[in-house]
Amino acid sequence: MPTYEYRCQKCKKSHEAFQSITAKPLTTCPQKKCGGRLKRLLGRGSGFIFKGSGFYITDYRSKKYQDAKKKDQPTSSSSGSSSGDKTKT
């Protein structure tokens, strides 16, 4: 459930309320002897909460897989210019 922030228009104090998304907004200040009208403010939101043992299986590949991938990649010394490789016919 989200936390909403309210500000009283009479006493200018901020209040937080832990409410369901479908709940109606609060209208009166919870401070005793105030009873002012509340205005719901734009919230800052919340951060991401990651649960579980990881994100994707490809994020944490095994050492064996990483070594095989390095062997399959072409090396920079074998990728020279191909202008000298042309033969005349």
Confidence of residue 64 (pLDDT cuts 50, 70, 90): confident
Its pTM stands at 0.47
Domain map (residue ranges) of the chain: 3-40
Averaged over 9-14, what is the pLDDT?
Answer: 92
Residues ≥6 apart with Cβ < 8 Å to 40: 4, 5, 6, 25, 26
* 14: phi then psi, degrees, rounded to nearest 5: -95, 145
Residue pair 40/29 in contact by the 8 Å Cβ criterion: no
* Tokens (6 digits) for 89: 């016919």
Annotate 41-73 with three-state secondary structure.
Answer: CCCCCCCCCCCCCCCCHHHHCCHHHHHHHHHHC
